[in-house]
A and B are shown apart, each in its own frame.
Chain A
């Protein structure tokens, strides 16, 4: 599967939040395409996580500014108003330590690297499938 691996983060290292394994993993899906948002929401729900949605990077940042927190953020790259790179940079500069995973249609190395540099823990090329979700959730639980 196409992925920029966990641990190969180009930006400054981040301390991960301690995940309480007793409660459901909370996930924020940041995606402007309604169809993909719907698929990703149901997929993550099927994996037993609690899901909230944001239609662009600004909505995601605003959620954190309002006091929300999530164990995992799955973010698209290209979105209107604020894209995934800008949103990730802002979240990291705010001190957000959630795992942030990019999910993008782009598959050129340079594009993935640029996205990773913004502060992602990993990046996957769409489609998001069971294998990729399992890898992300396992990484989250192993922290």
Chain B
């Protein structure tokens, strides 16, 4: 059982380290992972779905705001900052950087560039999402082995 848990932890470490090497995640993610000790074993497995829901909801709202005429750049700004905050807080580095790109486009009130930047965020999220699903699966297996 202990060997299985160790093997699962190693798999998790390999995935996260690979994502770090690609710049997709940063050290904040391991810090958030370490918060399990002060919370519950399920902390990360619960947090990641919450994060994904946050991102999807905010992307939907950004899309709707950009499609309306005239574009409400104030709302775009607020939504972008909200997304930047949660992506940086969980350690999703490239996603947070993509939010900065969108913020610049919003600041310049350039609708076309906003659209491209929003597509960039979607792509980054898609890249990250499958890895996050794998991480949640591993986390759940680790917790069930430890129980």
Q: Which A residues lie at the B interface, using CB under 8 A? A: 33-36, 38-39, 42-43, 45-46, 76, 78, 104-106, 126-130
Which one of B82-90, B111-119, B136-144 contacts A? B82-90
Query: Provided the pairs A35-B89, A127-B28, A130-B31 are in contact, do residues A42 and B39 lie with their beta carbons within 8 angstroms?
Result: yes
Given contacts A35-B50, A42-B35, A105 and B90 within 8 Å (CB-CB): no
* Total B residues in contact with A, Cβ cutoff 8 Å: 24
The answer to whether A43 and B35 touch (CB under 8 A), given A35-B89, A78-B78, is yes
> B interface vs A, CB < 8 Å?
27-28, 31-32, 34-35, 37-39, 43, 47, 50-51, 54, 78, 81-82, 84-86, 88-91
Distance between B21 CB and nearest chain A CB, rounded to angstroms: 20
Interface of B is mostly: helix
Closest A-B pairs by Cβ, 5 of them: A46-B38, A105-B85, A42-B35, A105-B81, A42-B39
Partner of A105 from B27, B38, B51, B82 at Cβ < 8 Å: B82
Partner of B89, one of A39, A78, A106, A130: A39
Q: Bound state CA distance, A36 and B85, in angstroms?
A: 8
CA distance in complex: A112, B35 (Å): 28
A39 CA / B35 CA spacing, docked (Å): 8
Beta-carbon contact of B88 and A127 below 8 Å? yes
Chain B residues within 8 Å of A45, by CB:
38-39
User: Complex formed: what's the CA distance from A37 to B32 in Å?
Assistant: 13
User: What residues of chain B lie closer than 8 Å to A130, measured between beta carbons?
Assistant: 31
A107–B43 alpha-carbon span in the complex (Å): 29
Q: Which residues of A contact B43 (CB under 8 A)?
A: 42
Known contacts A45-B38, A127-B88: does B32 contact A106 (CB below 8 Å)?
no
Q: In the bound complex, how far is the Cα of B104 from the Cα of A84, in angstroms?
A: 23
Contact assessment for B89 and A126 in the assembled complex, using a CB-CB cutoff below 8 Å: yes
Query: Which residues of the partner chain A approach B39 to less than 8 Å between Cβ atoms?
Result: 42, 45
Q: A38-B47, A105-B82, A106-B81 are in contact. Are A46 and B35 (CB under 8 A)?
A: yes
